[in-house]
Structure formats: structure tokens, C-alpha cells
Amino acid sequence: MAKPSKKQVKQQKNVKKIVDISFDLNLSHTTGLIIIAALLILSIVLPYYYVYYAYSVNHYNSFPLDDPWIHLQFAKNLAEYGSFSYFKNEVVTAGSTSPIYTIILAAGFLITKNEMWLSYVIGIIFFAFSVYYFYKLSGTFFPKENWLAIAAALLLVFDKWLNFISVTGMETTLYIFLLVACYYYYRKMNAIGFAVTLGLTFWTRPDALAFIAAIAADYFFRVYLKNRSPKDNTDILLFEKKDLYKIAGIFGAIMAAYFAMNYIIAGSLLPNTYSAKLAYYSAEFRSRSEFLKLEVWEYFTESAYLLIFIPFVFGVFKLASDSFKLKYNPLLPAFIFIALLIFMYWYKLPYAHRFGRYMMPVFPFYILISVYGGREFFRWFANYIGDSKLVNGLNVILLAGTIVYFASEYNSTKEIFQDQSRHIYIRQVETAKWLKNNTPEGSTIATHDVGAIAYYSDRKVVDVVGLINPEFISKLNTKEFAGFVEEQIIKKNVTYMAFLKEWFQVVNQPALFTAGENAFEIMQVYKYIPGKTHLLSTEVNSGIQYVSQLISSKQYPQAMSVLKQLAAMDPNSSLTYFMMAYVNSFTNDGASAEKNLLKAIELYPDYKDAVLSLSNLYRIQQKTDDSRNVLTKYLAINPQDTSVLNQLNKLEPLKTDPVKTDTLKTK
């Protein structure tokens, strides 16, 4: 063997020795199975505990969202009538965002009629599947460091929002399972498993387009690197030509079936929900900058997530560095998916929905890149200080601490699940049951929350935000919307309306039923009376909500200025004039308060709050006859109202503010 030259010896001395920090737990086959079993048991027990806790406090089962009952309504009709419809075998529509989830629920209805436990069980099962495939997927990235794969799986198992969403009756855990399984099959070059799961992701949610694009971009990058330098990229695997044909055929058939189903049902390639949500939560309605700040940045850096955000950034830096150097990194599709999904929502639909559920599908990939980034950071640190044992100890401590923090956050989130399940039950479910028991069969209900109301009322609903009735979509967020809604209400023979007043508000007539508490998201049911029922426009109703905030912060001049603009936009709203009188009372303008209360009563003679307020105003002003006349006129229409009758019997001057009544403050 030739003796190395002096130059070669010098080069060898200048090469820094790379410290290897990888270590394997050397698990036996039996131990590996025990770990998988433990992960699966946790993925079943942890979300179930949320249901158990909520029931122990509320004494009923519910969901923290109204949307699950939309899936259940479609599934029930599909099981009973064989029709993808929203009322018996009528109202056939492509209103389900996730038709494959609806089909699974419909199959479940053949086994049980208990819609709550059907939804809970399906959600938990797919969460368990997600955890199983995520553990296997993590093992492909850390083949010599199985403890990192276990740590990543434990982070997923204890994630508060994934446990939460598992028992909300939504398709999210099915979607996550398909995404993770697809990524796993892609890593394993399993053509059939990859093609089937890739196609089904789109059947679960249309935003799977981001994942499909991420996989495509990654594969083209693989092909480019392989063709550019075959000798340097022997570790990059590509599908064989016959496998590509299989993938194209299977994936193409699944996608074609999806588009064909929507087109046959609704005449469009995508479900109604896509267009309706784009119209309602447009960038003009929701700020893109606020979306990035509140629903992305703060969401992924909040409390426990901050501990994995820092290593995530390091992982992204390593991914970018490898890609810039034309070195393939197998985590590239995970990052592209995260970036594309956020971009899609930022650009088209800047809204992550309640609890950030549209962002939840990226959590497995977020965790994976974070664990990888932490390993790469500690690998760099080990080479810097030359001590692998210390560095490994630090990494173990960081991951163990993060898992404990995740578990703590999981435990505290059970109260959110309980409280929000109660919130929905009180408003949507109780309203639906009231409608079932207090409206004639054959009644048609106009509403914007079509889940529980449709499912439990057994009444046909008209969806004024277009998820079920797409004809409303083109008018959403336009000045013509309120008028169009009234036209459709007449056209579709609507007899009752059920609205959260923050969304749509009816004035000039009393509510038949009110559900809610704390003056927040109050559901009100009204009888539709042609020529009398007056629905505020979206713009005016939003203005009313804004004025309430101004009054709460004691900005009375600004509140009055806005109210005058609202009165000019809609001069037939008794509520607007009543609120003007309320502001007048704070500015000690009795004459204007009287004028505005008279106008409110003129528009709405049954307006009890306005009648009592005007009567009190006259009593303070020693105008006893006027006070008596106001009450007498009201009682002529409402003779059974004992509270007003008592007021009439106590006609003595008051020394209290006439307009600042408790009932008014809730308006």
C-alpha cells in the first residue's frame, strides 16, 4: 500500500471528526408490539375521556360544533332512502365536504341508530389508525433511532386538539389517517396503497389538493436529481413504469368518480360547501393578515407548541439547505404540504374555523419535522462540543419535557370540550327539539346553522348561507342579500326562521323561542309573517354588533354616529331607534330619547322594552297620563302581559333612569 503524501496527511488532519449521536433502544419484536399496543390504547382512552368528562358535567352527549350533524343528516338519509339528500329523499345536493365520511357514517347507521356514539367511535378509530401509521412513518425517518419515533408518536397521541377533534363528529381524523398512511406508502414505494389513499384524501376534503401537489413536486424533484446525477443519488427511489401506470389508473378512477358524483348531484365538480365558504369567509370579510397572525402564528406557537416550534424552524432550515445544495431530503413533501395548505387558506379562505380545525391536518407533519429538526440541532451541537452522551441526554430531556407539557395541555382542554359541547347543545339542539315539538309537521325552517336543527327537528330546512341551498351563494356578503333571502323565504314557503342574532337578526316582532346565555350567540326562533317580519341586512346587523361594543366601552358619540348611519340604511328597524334612545339616556338627552322610543314603538307596537322605557321616561317627567296611555295601548294588544299591567298599577314618579333597563342591555 502506498504511503500517503504529506498533502494527504495534512488534509486528513484538517477534517473534523463527525460525532455520531444516534442510538437505538434495540427493541425486541415483542417489546415493539407492546409499544404499538400502548400507543393504540392511549389513542382510544384519551379522546374517550373527553366524552366521559363532558357527560359527567353536562349529563348529555353533544358535539362542540354544529357541523357534525350535517354529515349525520346526509348519512341518515343515505341509509334510509338511498339518497344523498338533506330531507328524507328530497333536497338532493352536494352539500357534504367529505362524501367518503358520510358514506362511512351511513354504513354505521345500519349497525346502530345512536348518532352520538357512532360519531365518537368512528372518530376515535381513525385517530388510532393515524397514530399507528404515524409511528410506522416516523420509523422510516429514524431507522437507527427508534426512541425518536416513539417520542414523535407520543407527541401525536397527547396532542390536545387531535384528541379534541377525534370526538367532535368531524372527518378530520379520517383525513389525517389517509394523509399519514399515504405518506407512509409513498416512502415505502407501495404503488397500490399510495394510489388508493392519495385518491381518498380528496374524497375526504378538497384541500387535499395541497398534499397531492406536495407529493407531485417532491416526486418531480426526485426524478430531476436522479437524472442529473445517478451515481450520487443511488438512495433515491422511484416508482417503476408499471407502478406509475397503476397509480395513474387507480388515482384517476377515484378522482373521476368524485367529480362525477358531484356533477351528477349538483352540476358542479366540487361540493356546495366549497363555494359557500369561499363566499362567506372571503378575504374582504376576513383579514389575511389577521389569519396569519391569529390562526397560524399564534396557533402553532401557543403554550406547548412553542417547544416544538423552535426545532421545527431548525428542521425547515436544514430542509432548505439540503434542497439548495440539490441534496434530497425525504421530509420535503411534509414541509411543502404545510406551506401549501396555509397558503391556500390565506389566499382563498382566510379562516381556520373553530378551534383551528382546518389547520389540524398538518400536526403530524409539524411534529415530524420538529423531531427531525431537534435531532439535527443536537447533532450539530454534539460536533461543536464533541460530547454525544451529553447532547443525547439534553435531547431526551427536551422531548420528555415536551411530552409532559403536551399531556398537561391535553388534560386542561377537556374543559373546553365540555363547555363548547354544552354551548352547542343549548343553542342548536334545544332549538331543534323546540321546533319539533312546537311547529306543525310540514313546516319549513330558514336557518344558517343547518346541522342539529335539521337532524332533530325533522323539518325541511332552507340554508340561507348556501351549504345546502347553493342558490344563496352568489348573494352572500352583498347589499342585496337580505332582500334575496326574503324572496327565497316566500318562494320556498318558509314558515319559521331560526337565527343566531350575531349572524342574522329579525326585528319588529317577538321571538317565539330564545336559546343561549351570557348575551352571546343567542339563537332566536321567529314565525315568518309576510309583510311584517323584517330581517336586517348583514351590513346593518354587523353595525348593531359594533355599536354594542362601542356602548360597552362608553364611546357614546361614536355609537350615535354609527346608529344614525344604520337608521339611514334601514329606516324600518325598531332596534336601531331603541339603541339610539339607550345612548340618549347616557348623554341626558331626554327629548331625543322620547323621539326615538316613539319611533321604535311606531315600527313595532308590541315592543315591550321600548314601551316600558317610554313609560318610565314619562313618569320621571311627571307625565302620568302619557305614561298611562303608553301602557294602556300596549295592553290593548297584549292583555295577558302581567309585568306591564303591574307597571300600570304603580304609576308613581320614579327616580331611576327610564331607558337603562336590564332587558335593553342585552340587545
Name all domains of the chain by residue range, CATH numbers in brackets. Answer: 24-421 (no CATH), 422-535 (no CATH), 550-665 (1.25.40.10)
535 or 272: which leads in pLDDT: 535
Pairing outcome for strands 460-463 and 534-535:
unpaired
What are the C-alpha distances in Å from 308 to residues 303, 379, 480?
A: 10, 17, 47
**pLDDT number for residue 22:** 63
**pLDDT number for residue 385:** 84
Task: Report the pLDDT averaged over residues 578-599.
Answer: 94
Q: Is the pLDDT of residue 523 over 60?
A: yes
pLDDT-derived band at 473, boundaries 50, 70, 90: confident
**pLDDT number for residue 11:** 46
Lowest-confidence region among 142-151, 222-231, 263-272:
263-272
Task: Report the pLDDT averaged over residues 122-129.
Answer: 98
How far apart, in whole angstroms, are the C-alpha atoms of residue 554 and residue 418? 34
pLDDT-derived band at 386, boundaries 50, 70, 90: confident
How far apart, in whole angstroms, are the C-alpha atoms of residue 47 and residue 64? 14
Task: Report the pLDDT averaged over residues 462-489.
Answer: 85
How far apart, in whole angstroms, are the C-alpha atoms of residue 271 and residue 466? 11
End-to-end CA distance of the chain: 94
**pLDDT number for residue 163:** 98
**pLDDT number for residue 100:** 95
Of all residues in the chain, what percent are helix, strand and coil, respectively (each to 5)? 65, 5, 25
Task: Report the pLDDT averaged over residues 513-522.
Answer: 87
The predicted-structure confidence for 600-626, as pLDDT tens digits, reads as follows 999 999 999 999 999 999 988 888 888
Task: Report the pLDDT averaged over residues 87-101.
Answer: 85
* φ, ψ for residue 83, nearest 5 deg: -125, 135
Lowest-confidence region among 21-25, 65-69, 109-113, 396-400:
21-25
Task: Report the pLDDT averaged over residues 362-379.
Answer: 95
DSSP, res 360: G
**pLDDT number for residue 652:** 59
Q: Is the pLDDT of residue 16 over 50?
A: no
Q: Is the pLDDT of residue 55 over 90?
A: yes
Answer for the pair 89, 83: CB distance below 8 angstroms, yes or no.
Answer: yes
Q: Is the pLDDT of residue 582 over 90?
A: yes
Q: Is the pLDDT of residue 666 over 50?
A: no
pLDDT-derived band at 19, boundaries 50, 70, 90: low
How far apart, in whole angstroms, are the C-alpha atoms of residue 554 and residue 577? 18
Q: Is the pLDDT of residue 659 over 60?
A: no
Q: Is the pLDDT of residue 179 over 50?
A: yes
Classify 494 as helix, strand or coil: coil
H or E segment to which residue 226 belongs: helix 209-228
**pLDDT number for residue 285:** 57
Q: Is the pLDDT of residue 323 over 80?
A: yes
DSSP, res 189: T
**pLDDT number for residue 93:** 81
H or E segment to which residue 611 belongs: helix 608-620
Number of helices followed by number of strands (H, E) in the chain: 29, 9
**pLDDT number for residue 5:** 57
Task: Report the pLDDT averaged over residues 464-481.
Answer: 83
The predicted-structure confidence for 251-303, as pLDDT tens digits, reads as follows 999 999 999 998 888 777 877 766 666 666 655 556 889 999 999 999 999 98
Contacts of 475 (CB under 8 A, 6+ apart): 481, 484, 485
For the chain, what is the mean pLDDT? 90
Lowest-confidence region among 106-110, 411-415, 462-466:
462-466
H helix intervals, 142-208: 146-157, 160-166, 172-187, 191-204
Q: Is the pLDDT of residue 315 over 90?
A: yes
**pLDDT number for residue 18:** 55
Q: Is the pLDDT of residue 14 over 50?
A: no
Lowest-confidence region among 63-67, 73-77, 270-274:
270-274
How far apart, in whole angstroms, are the C-alpha atoms of residue 572 and residue 120? 47
How far apart, in whole angstroms, are the C-alpha atoms of residue 330 and residue 140? 10
CA 597-599-604 angle, to 5 degrees, is 95
How far apart, in whole angstroms, are the C-alpha atoms of residue 447 and residue 255? 33
pLDDT-derived band at 444, boundaries 50, 70, 90: very high
How far apart, in whole angstroms, are the C-alpha atoms of residue 293 and residue 273? 25
The predicted-structure confidence for 539-563, as pLDDT tens digits, reads as follows 898 899 999 999 999 999 999 999 9
The predicted-structure confidence for 194-220, as pLDDT tens digits, reads as follows 999 999 999 999 999 999 999 999 999
Q: Is the pLDDT of residue 7 over 70?
A: no
The 460-463 sheet, strands edge to edge:
460-463, 444-447, 496-500, 520-527, 513-517
**pLDDT number for residue 12:** 47
What are the C-alpha distances in Å from 482 to residues 279, 465, 501, 504, 535?
A: 15, 11, 14, 9, 7
Nearest to 100 by CA among 190, 8, 239, 202: 202
Q: Is the pLDDT of residue 378 over 70?
A: yes
Q: Where are the beta strands (DSSP E) in 15-122?
A: 85-87, 90-92
The dihedral through the CA atoms of 625, 628, 630, 635 has a sign that is negative
User: Cell digits for 178?
Assistant: 389517509
**pLDDT number for residue 267:** 79
**pLDDT number for residue 235:** 87
CA atoms within 13 A on the CB side of 518: 5
